[in-house]
Amino acid sequence: MIINLKEDLHIHCNYNDHSDVDLTIPNVIKRAEDLKLERIAFTEHVRKSSEWTRRYLNELDQYSQVTNIQVLKGFEAKILPDGSIDCPDEFISDDYFIIASFHKKYDKEIWLNSLLQAIKNPCVNVIGHLAPEAEFTLDDEQIYNIGKSLIENNKIIEINAKYIRPPLNFLEIFIKLGVKFHVGSDAHRLEDIGDFNRIMHLINFIEK
C-alpha cells in the first residue's frame, strides 16, 4: 500500500481552546496550498455541548470555495465508555468526515468494548491515534479482532504524526488483514500541517 503524502486528514483550527491563535481556517488553507497538498480535512475537537459548530461549518464553506484543494468538513469526537461518540447528533452523518478517538483513559475491558462499538458506527470514517493505554497491552488475538472489525466496517486507521501511532505490532497485523491507512498531522500549529517526518518509519513499514 502506498500512503498519499499529498493529503493531511487530521487538522485542527482555532475553534478549540488549545490551538495556536493563528491557526485560522484561511491560514490553514493557505499553508496547505503553499505545501501543494491536494486534500485536507478539518477535524476540529467537538462535544455534544459545542456551540460554535455552525459558525465553523459556515466558515469552512466560505473558504473551501476559493481553493483548488479538496477540503473535507469534519470533527474529531471522543469515544465514550459505551462506544458512542461525543458529537452533536446532527453532525453524525455521511455529510461530515468523522474521526473517533480516545481522549480519556479507560480500563482494558471498557477500552476494547467501546472501540469495537465505535468501529461499528456507520458515520465514523476514521479511528484516530490508536494505541493501548500505558496501563495495559493487547495480545495478537485482540489486535486481530480489532483489525477484522475495521475491515468488516470499512474503517480507516490514521497514521498520526503527533502521537506517532499506531504501534508497529498493530500495524503488522492490520497490514496482513488489509486494513486501510492514511496520514494525519493532528496539527494544532501551522507548522505541523503536512509534516510527517516523525512517522516516516511507520509509513515505510506499511509501504515495504
> For the segment 81-140, what is each residue's pLDDT rounded down to a tens digit?
999 999 999 999 999 999 999 999 999 999 999 999 999 999 999 999 999 999 999 999
The total domain count for the chain is 1
In a domain, 2, yes or no: no
202 grid coordinates:
511507520
Report if residue 107 sits inside a domain: yes
Q: What is the DSSP string of 54-86?
A: HHHHHHHHHHHTT-SSEEEEEEEEEBPTTS-BS
63 φ/ψ angles, rounded to the nearest 5 degrees: -85, -25
Confidence tier at 15 by pLDDT (50, 70, 90): very high
Residue 151: phi and psi, rounded to 5, are -65, -50
Q: Rounded to 5, what percent of the chain is helix, strand, coil?
A: 35, 20, 45
Answer yes or no: is 1 within a domain: no
Burial profile 31-50: b = 16 or more Cβ within 10 angstroms, e = fewer: bbeebebeebbbbbbbeeeb
Kindly state the cell numbers that stand for 5: 503524502
Q: What is the pLDDT of residue 139?
A: 98
So what's the pLDDT on residue 3?
Answer: 98
Q: How confident is the model at residue 17 (pLDDT cuts 50, 70, 90)?
A: confident
In a domain, 98, yes or no: yes
| Domain assignment of residue 200, given as a range | 7-207
Per-residue HEC secondary structure of 102-165 comes to: CCCCCCHHHHHHHHHHHHHCCCCCEECCCCCCCCCCCCHHHHHHHHHHHHHCCCEEEEECCCCE
HSE toward the beta carbon, residue 109, CA cutoff 13 A: 0
- Cβ atoms of residues 110 and 144 within 8 Å: no
DSSP state of 177: H
Is residue 18 pLDDT above 90, yes or no?
no
C-alpha cell at 163: 502521537
Q: What is the mean pLDDT of the chain?
A: 97
Q: CATH number, domain at 140?
A: 3.20.20.140
Peptide bond into 88 cis (omega under 30): no
